[in-house]
Amino acid sequence: MANRGGFSSKLGFIMAAAGSAVGLGNIWGFPYEVGQGGGAAFVVIYLLFCFILCFPVMVTEIAIGRKSQKNAVGAFDYLGFKKWNIVGKMGILCGVLILSFYNVIAGWAFGYIFEMAVGNFDIANHFSEFIVDVFKVGAYGFVFMATTAYVVSKGISGGIEKAAKLLMPTLLFLIVSLVIYSLTLENAMAGVKFYLVPDFSELNGKVIYNAMGQAFFSLSLGMGALITYGSYVGKNDNIVSSAALITLTDVGIALIAGLMIFPLIGYMTEGAMTDVGRGPALIFVTLPQIFGTIGGTLGAVVGTTFFILLCFAALTSTVSLLEVPVSYIVDEKNIKRSKAVWLVAGLIYLIGIPSLLGNGYSEFFSNFITYVGAESATDFLSFVGHVANDTLLPLGGCLIAFFAGHVWKKANLDEELAQGAPGYKGSFIQKYLNFAVSYLSPIVLGTLFVLTVLGTFFGINLI
């Protein structure tokens, strides 16, 4: 078998996995979910889910990967449960779907770098025209996908790890600079208050459901991305402490992203915080308006910096999404990495075209499907998001945890986690992980899956 390569160090792995986790989900998704979910109460629930529910699944994925040294499908075969490799296959499908639309959005963010650089803040009023210009945004997406493919083609230590080691510290520097700047603005504190002082009367089933999905997606769980990355981890590295650092980084960056965005909104709304609940438009409409209010060269610099930051975050995530199918093909089909990468990336770009066209350009893809009981149609990009993020990911996570707890068995999981972690056995964390992996995570994630299927696709809203 060809040499699969691997991360050069524990730190390299942590950076790459944190890079996978930190993405559009943190800097775009998290703040708008907070805005829609009533602010700090959402944040509290989100944090609980990350540590109590998601962290155990992360540990499990990495352990399965490292034990087997295989891709998301081959890992189940290696452990002796060939039937279960359907979970890995579902994960690969899911990765392909997510990357297909994620790249479209990353392309928008990439295009916005240039709009901000020339001071075109008026784009805030023309976002819907911007995304209808499919040849232009399609080209931006093409460049983004090609960059992703280039990184993955260079392999694990020479590509994925190297890119993460460059992009992640830069990202941290940029985001902290923007936080400091936005905190100096007038009415910044109104934003901070909205963001950090919880009002639990805002909580309801829907907010909790969203917080759960957001946490799971943000940590890149449920589709074997971390099985794949785990397969490149050294046998002497401590999985539990690595996973803790990855979770902390992801949560930390999401929290910092809120600290960057809400003061800006406080500034623009003169403390009224009226414009926070706008959902996805937050980044592409509200923020450019704010950069326009700052105005001039400073506005352009802040705006450009923000979208560069967003693209860096997205790139380390698209890289991880592409690596999942690539690793499968390299391991199982014996195709050379360089060839597999360009093939898969090209294919995923094509699969993404309906998501590109469905934002006003093509009537058919813009009103692609009307769910049972829904009043209006859903566009293709959102549809794929509902299938992949909201349905397949929680199902995958539920099955992966159940598999580790009851099929592969806890003792084997423990054995793998104890490697490189003296003192793990018998610890409180071991007992907690065993409980969560066997019962808590599968039950909660299974519930999330059922709620999505019933609520989104069949109009039966239990929450």
- Applying CB under 6 A, the residues found at the interface with ligand TRP are 20-21, 23-26, 98, 217-218, 220, 223, 225, 317, 320-321, 393
- Residue 36 vs 103, nearer CB to ligand TRP: 103
Nearest-angstrom CA–CA distance, 12 and 15: 5
- Residue 221 vs 265, nearer CB to ligand TRP: 221
CB atoms within 10 A of CB 280: 13
The CA-CA-CA angle for residues 112, 116, 117, to 5°, reads 115
- Residue 20 vs 430, nearer CB to ligand TRP: 20
- Residue 86 vs 377, nearer CB to ligand TRP: 86
- Residue 195 vs 217, nearer CB to ligand TRP: 217
Q: How far is the CB of 255 from ligand TRP (least distance, A)?
A: 14
Q: How far is the CB of 392 from ligand TRP (least distance, A)?
A: 10
Nearest-angstrom CA–CA distance, 295 and 5: 48
| 3-class SS shares of the chain: helix, strand, coil, % to 5 | 80, 0, 20
Say if residues 411 and 388 touch (Cβ distance below 8 Å). Answer: no
Q: How far is the CB of 197 from ligand TRP (least distance, A)?
A: 25
Q: At what angle are helices 205-218 and 441-452 packed, to 10 degrees?
A: 110
Sequence-ordered list of residues with C-beta below 8 angstroms from that of 313, at least 6 positions apart, any chain? 22, 23, 24, 26, 27, 171, 253
- Residue 24 vs 330, nearer CB to ligand TRP: 24
Q: How far is the CB of 98 from ligand TRP (least distance, A)?
A: 6
- Residue 188 vs 388, nearer CB to ligand TRP: 388
Q: How far is the CB of 25 from ligand TRP (least distance, A)?
A: 2
Sequence-ordered list of residues with C-beta below 8 angstroms from that of 140, at least 6 positions apart, any chain? 107, 108, 110, 111
DSSP code of residue 39: S
Nearest-angstrom CA–CA distance, 354 and 188: 40
Q: How far is the CB of 431 from ligand TRP (least distance, A)?
A: 28
- The phi and psi torsions of 5 (rounded to 5 degrees) equal 80, 180
DSSP code of residue 288: H
Q: How far is the CB of 372 from ligand TRP (least distance, A)?
A: 27
Q: How far is the CB of 395 from ligand TRP (least distance, A)?
A: 13
Displacement of CA 280 from its chain's centroid (Å): 15
- Residue 163 vs 190, nearer CB to ligand TRP: 163
Q: Which residues of 54-83 are buried (b: 16+ CB within 10 A; e: fewer)?
A: bbbbbbbbbbbbbbbbbbbbbbbbbbeeee
- Residue 38 vs 95, nearer CB to ligand TRP: 95
- Residue 366 vs 382, nearer CB to ligand TRP: 382
The CA-CA-CA angle for residues 161, 166, 167, to 5°, reads 95
- Residue 317 vs 434, nearer CB to ligand TRP: 317
Nearest-angstrom CA–CA distance, 412 and 220: 24
Q: How far is the CB of 164 from ligand TRP (least distance, A)?
A: 12
Say if residues 41 and 203 touch (Cβ distance below 8 Å). Answer: yes
Q: How far is the CB of 300 from ligand TRP (least distance, A)?
A: 26
Nearest-angstrom CA–CA distance, 203 and 180: 30
CB atoms within 10 A of CB 458: 12
Q: How far is the CB of 61 from ligand TRP (least distance, A)?
A: 10
